[in-house]
């Protein structure tokens, strides 16, 4: 069996394999621009795998592709120290070939690059059981999700069949009055952001949010229109960042907001950026806004205007759906798994610690279906 990276000139072969092995008519099997963006254009992917390769492994048995493993590569920040890691996607082996050990060989090929961390978001319970048996992994049964309801009545009617019981303790989010000299603008400057990020990086653990990441992940995205807002003081120094995407669901006029970045240096910037979200809700008439993130420190501003972390347990687990294309009322949470290398074990906090900054921007969980 041959396990290797796909080369850029093999895009058609990779797209066909994704269609045949992963899912018929999957977005990556029909949108080459998105495939190139996610697995080829990322500067860290190019540094780790070379400019001629995708961050995508394949397993060949003779001339037949029997397995796939996508590897999104990122710089990893540990309190200002820099490493690199992977966010894997599309790990699959053809059912009739799973006795060959192809899945394990794909995993070993990934580990041969010596990543400091491997973050898997959006896994199912079967995959979670696999990770539980692997050394260095911890399974995250519930990635924290913060929800801000803007239109309580329409959210209940449109998404919950008129049953508001699941959101009975949610209040409508509202702007918080404040006195500050900070301002929010719809602009982004790479040099000023990197200056801010250098200072902020000593406070968090997670994939780097430097300007190269922001530009690749959001500004240059070939499909989604991400709205980027920065908060700055009177001297023009950045104090925070908000990245949000508006998603039409059910019908074009029914919309929600997906926050993918919310970073604030202090209370004033946190509330300023949170107030911006309410302004977007007013302008776009959104039902609700959500944000998947580990850092309770980062989400302070959202809680100030009325966001609540989704409360999940077996007796009361139905909050709001997270998938809308099509609407899925069964899956309302996200599972994950995290690997840390032996080098960092003991130096890195648990993923449950509030200093971890992990969002949907760290994997393929915010992409077209």
Tens of pLDDT, residue by residue over 167-192, are 888 999 999 998 899 999 999 999 99
Tens of pLDDT, residue by residue over 253-263, are 899 999 999 99
Query: Any bridge partners for residue 243, and if so which?
Result: 228, 261
Does residue 32 or residue 342 have the better pLDDT? 32
Query: CA nearest 233: which of 181, 291, 198?
Result: 181
Q: Which of 208-212, 304-308, 317-321 has the lowest mean pLDDT?
A: 317-321
What's the pLDDT band for 231 if we cut at 50, 70, 90? Answer: very high
Does residue 78 or residue 142 have the better pLDDT? 78
- d(Cα 295, Cα 259) in Å, to the nearest integer? 14
What's the pLDDT band for 147 if we cut at 50, 70, 90? Answer: very high
Query: CA nearest 115: which of 87, 139, 78?
Result: 87
Structure confidence at residue 318 (pLDDT): 61
Query: Any bridge partners for residue 264, and if so which?
Result: 240
- d(Cα 95, Cα 241) in Å, to the nearest integer? 44
Query: Any bridge partners for residue 59, and if so which?
Result: 3, 67
Residue 121 sits at φ, ψ, to 5 deg, of -110, 145
| Alpha carbons within 13 A on the beta-carbon side of 105 | 20
Structure confidence at residue 347 (pLDDT): 79
User: How is residue 362 annotated by DSSP?
Assistant: G
Highest mean pLDDT among 8-22, 151-165, 339-353: 8-22
Tens of pLDDT, residue by residue over 286-300, are 999 999 998 877 899
E-strand ranges in the chain read 2-7, 53-61, 64-78, 81-93, 117-123, 137-140, 145-149, 183-185, 205-207, 226-232, 238-249, 251-264, 288-292, 308-309, 323-324, 327-328, 335-340
313, pLDDT greater than 80: no
- d(Cα 34, Cα 259) in Å, to the nearest integer? 20
Secondary structure of residue 62 in the 3-state scheme: coil
Structure confidence at residue 297 (pLDDT): 76
Give yes or no for a contact between 23 and 15, defined as CB atoms under 8 angstroms apart.
no
- Kindly list the strands in the beta sheet with 288-292, ordered across the sheet, starting from the edge strand earlier in the chain: 183-185, 226-232, 238-249, 251-264, 288-292, 145-149, 308-309
Sorted by where each starts, the structural domains of the chain and their CATH numbers stand as 2-115 (3.40.630.30), 145-362 (3.40.630)
Which residues, 6+ apart, have CB-to-CB distance to 308 below 8 Å?
146, 147, 148, 169, 170
């Amino acid at each position: 069996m041959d396990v290797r990276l796909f080369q850029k000139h093999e895009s058609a072969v990779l797209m066909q394999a994704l269609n045949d092995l992963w899912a018929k008519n999957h977005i990556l099997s029909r949108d080459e621009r998105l495939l190139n963006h996610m697995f080829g254009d990322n500067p860290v992917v190019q540094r780790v795998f070379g400019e001629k390769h995708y961050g995508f492994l394949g397993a060949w048995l003779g001339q037949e592709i029997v397995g796939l493993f996508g590897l999104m590569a990122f710089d990893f920040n540990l309190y200002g120290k820099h490493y690199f890691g992977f966010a894997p996607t599309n790990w699959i082996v053809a059912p009739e070939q799973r006795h060959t050990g192809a899945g394990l060989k794909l995993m070993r090929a990934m580990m041969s690059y010596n990543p400091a961390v491997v973050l898997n978001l959006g896994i199912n319970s079967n995959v979670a059981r696999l990770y539980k048996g692997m050394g260095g992994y911890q399974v995250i049964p519930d990635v924290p999700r913060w929800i801000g309801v803007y239109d309580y009545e329409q959210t209940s009617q449109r998404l919950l069949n008129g049953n508001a019981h699941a959101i009975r303790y949610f209040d409508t989010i509202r702007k918080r009055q404040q006195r500050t000299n900070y301002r929010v603008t719809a602009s982004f400057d790479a040099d000023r952001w990197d200056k801010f990020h250098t200072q902020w990086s000593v406070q968090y653990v997670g994939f780097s949010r430097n300007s190269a990441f922001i530009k690749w992940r959001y500004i240059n995205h070939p499909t989604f229109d991400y709205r980027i807002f920065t908060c700055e003081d009177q001297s023009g120094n950045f104090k925070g960042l908000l990245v949000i995407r508006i998603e039409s669901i059910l019908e074009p006029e029914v919309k929600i907001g997906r926050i993918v970045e919310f970073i604030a240096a202090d209370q004033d910037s946190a509330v300023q950026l949170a107030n911006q979200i309410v302004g977007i809700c007013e302008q776009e008439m959104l039902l609700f806004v959500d944000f998947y993130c580990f850092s309770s420190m980062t989400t302070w501003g959202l809680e100030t205007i009325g966001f609540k972390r989704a409360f999940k347990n077996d007796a009361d687990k139905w909050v709001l759906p997270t998938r809308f294309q099509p609407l899925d009322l069964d899956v309302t949470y996200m599972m994950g798994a995290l690997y840390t290398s032996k080098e960092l074990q003991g130096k890195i906090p648990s993923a449950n610690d509030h200093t971890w900054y992990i969002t949907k921007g760290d994997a393929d969980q915010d992409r077209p279906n």
